[in-house]
Structure 1
Amino acid sequence: MESIREQLQRWSQSLCQEISVDGLYTRCPIAHKWKAPYRSCGIREALLWRMHDLGQQTVLLAEQGHVRGARILLRSAIETLAVLIYLNQKMEAVVAGKLSLFEFDERTRQLLMGSKNGATSMAAVNILTVLAHAEKAHPGLTAMHERLSESAHPSYDGVLYGYSTTDSERHETRFVNNWAAFFGAEQAPCTAFVFAVFEHQYNVTWVDQMTRFEQWLRENDDALEAHRDA
């Protein structure tokens, strides 16, 4: 069975180095005269770069026994996965007639350029909204994200449970790093699940949705042009 390290090594050989607008246009001139497909390609590839980077650091920390740090990074990996699921769902919604191309175009702009700190002029898509959509496709992601968030935050798990034990008979609190003992066993299977879902969304779902999206753009080009010119 492929290890997480082997999976990451395989990903490293597939990281996209560039996206050519001319190449996409040559592939399908009608579909790729619109900006949304190009942005979708850019989001997909940037997310793989991010997931690969997070994955390498998550595994490194876990192997060194730094479980708390690994859990915080895995939380970020779940959010990265959720964005890819959200993107795929929105492409599907366009083809199904539930979302207009122009609304989808705006969503892709938000996913690429949105920020929460004012670094750009566009507001980021709320990550909780994205997670809620991802939960519909893969139940359990939200619960996993919530558990990992407790590790990231200075709440009970993140402070008292993570760094102390209580001797009720002696009425003593002893301080110790409990992260490997209390959370180490679930780190590898949770990481493997997140990476497996991401790979399926990247290699299968996105490719299928983009193929359908391109076909839909070809079939609806006249109506879309009329709407744009109105």
Structure 2
Amino acid sequence: MDTIAQNLSSWRASLMPSIPIAGLLSRNPIVYKWKAPFRCWLLREAAFWRVTDLLTQSYALHQQGHGLGARILLRSGIETLASLIYLNQLIEQVLVSKLDFHEFGQMTKILSLGSRDGSTKHQSRNIVTILKKCNKRYPGIENLYGILSESAHPNYYGLVAGYSEVNHDEYETCFSNRWMEINGASHLDSIELCMMTFHHEYNDVWPNLMDKFENWIAENTDRLEATKNTPA
């Protein structure tokens, strides 16, 4: 079993089965009377479930020689990674007084309940906008997403380059499925990069931020109560 397969197996075994509200309240009743910190847990764990699912399938398709599907799933994995990076960035902004706590609460509501099909009353954030913010922390993530997006759309790269090649000697265009030929060698490196970055944001950045955030809420609870307009 290679490194990616081993790590994905470890990830699947580590997925959180539930978030008991009673457990959060016993952790800190002052902090978890607010909905925003609960949503932080919800978004983090849902992102872990989703990225594990997506990368498991991307890896499996790559192993089976289905290069295009593998890339499209990895593209969704990068979007999911970006959502966790963005959440961590927002928490950081609250801690340094660049983002109002109550506004943060509304933003976590949009991140957890946003949609584009009208299935909820909140419109989701544009993922490209989120990726631009993430690119400030991880230069190149926006470019990687753009490259993967070219595969997902029926433009030149996703249509003509992916399925045809010019034989200049014979003056003819030959058709074949070229995805593994073009991207097969680099795909696993991209999966590993996504996994390493997600691991860092999930296991290193988020727990430290959440401890600071909980302490910050507890220390500022009177001011937050006095300034709230709507429940966060």
Query: What TM-score range do you get, normalising by the shorter chain?
Result: over 0.9
Identity %: 44
Query: Hey, what's the Cα distance between the residues in 2 that align with 1:225 and 1:179?
Result: 56
Structure 1 residue 227 corresponds to structure 2 residue 227: yes
Unmatched 5+ stretches in structure 1:
none
Query: Hey, what's the Cα distance between the residues in 1 that align with 2:137 and 2:228?
Result: 32
Q: Which residue of structure 1 lines up, in the alignment, with residue 101 of structure 2?
A: 101
Query: Hey, what's the Cα distance between the residues in 2 that align with 1:162 and 1:70?
Result: 14
Cα distance per residue 1:86-137 (max 9 Å; x no partner): 0000011001100011111011101111000101111001111110111111
Matches within 5 A, 1:63-78: 63-78=63-78
Query: Hey, what's the Cα distance between the residues in 2 that align with 1:210 and 1:229?
Result: 24
Query: Hey, what's the Cα distance between the residues in 2 that align with 1:5 and 1:64?
Result: 14
Cα distance, 1:229 vs. partner? 6.7
Cα distance, 1:73 vs. partner? 0.4
* Residue identity in the other structure for 1:57: Q
For normalisation by structure 1, the TM-score amounts to: 0.97
What is the aligned-residue RMSD (CA, Å)? 1.4
For normalisation by structure 2, the TM-score amounts to: 0.96
Query: Hey, what's the Cα distance between the residues in 1 that align with 2:129 and 2:173?
Result: 40
Q: 1:179 to 1:136 in 2, by over 3 A?
A: same
Q: 1:160 to 1:229 in 2, by over 3 A?
A: closer
Q: Which residue of structure 2 lines up, in the alignment, with residue 204 of structure 1?
A: 204
Query: Hey, what's the Cα distance between the residues in 2 that align with 1:183 and 1:90?
Result: 34
Cα distance, 1:14 vs. partner? 1.0
Q: Which residue of structure 2 lines up, in the alignment, with residue 141 of structure 1?
A: 141
Q: 1:165 to 1:24 in 2, by over 3 A?
A: same
Query: Paired residues, what number?
Result: 230
More moved, 18-27 vs 83-92 = 18-27
Cα distance, 1:228 vs. partner? 2.1
Query: Hey, what's the Cα distance between the residues in 2 that align with 1:57 and 1:167?
Result: 34
* Residue identity in the other structure for 1:70: A
Q: Which residue of structure 2 lines up, in the alignment, with residue 20 of structure 1?
A: 20
Cα distance per residue 1:52-87 (max 9 Å; x no partner): 110110010000010111000000000000000000
SS at match of 2:65: coil
Cα distance, 1:16 vs. partner? 0.7
